[in-house]
Structure 1
Amino acid sequence: MRNIYFQSIEQLKTGQALALRDIVDELIFNHQALIPVITQNADSKEVLMMAWMNKACLEQTLVTGLMTYWSRSRQEVWIKGETSGNYQRLESMRFDCDGDAVLCLVKQTGAACHTGRQHCFYLEASQSRQSVSMLSAAP
Structure 2
Amino acid sequence: MPPALDPSVADLLRRTPDGLVAAVAQQHDTGEVLMLAWMDDEALRRTLATGEATYWSRSRGEYWVKGATSGHHQAVREVRLDCDGDALLLLVDQTGPACHTGERTCFHRPLEVTAPEVSRAVG
Structure 1 runs of 4+ aligned residues shifted over 6 Å read none
State the distance in 1 between where 2:89 and 2:83 align.
Answer: 11
Residue in structure 1 matched with residue 100 of structure 2 by the alignment: 114
SS in 2 for 1:59: helix
Q: Which runs of 5+ in 2 are unaligned?
A: 1-5, 116-123
Q: Partner residue of 1:46?
A: 32
Alignment partner of 1:120: what SS?
Answer: coil
- 2:10 and 2:91 map into 1 onto residues whose CA distance is 17
Does 1:100 find its partner at 2:66?
no
Structure 1 residue 127 displacement after superposition = 1.6
Deviations 1:52-77 (A, max 9, x none): 00100000000000000000000100
Matching residue of 1:62? 48
User: Identity, % of aligned pairs?
Assistant: 47
Answering whether residue 97 of structure 2 is matched by residue 73 of structure 1, we say no
The amino acid that maps onto 1:106 is V
Displacement, 1:21? 4.2
TM-score, normalisation: structure 2: 0.85
Tell me which of 16, 32, 38 is aligned to 1:30: 16
Q: What CA deviation, in whole Å up to 9, does each residue of 1:101-135 have, x standing for no partner?
A: 10010000111000011000011111229xxxxxx
For 1:46 and 1:21, the matched residues in 2 are separated by 31
Which structure shows the bigger proportion of residues in helix conformation?
Answer: 1
Specify every segment of 5 or more residues in structure 1 that has no aligned partner in the other structure, as ranges: 1-19, 130-139
TM-score of the superposed pair, with normalisation by structure 1: 0.76
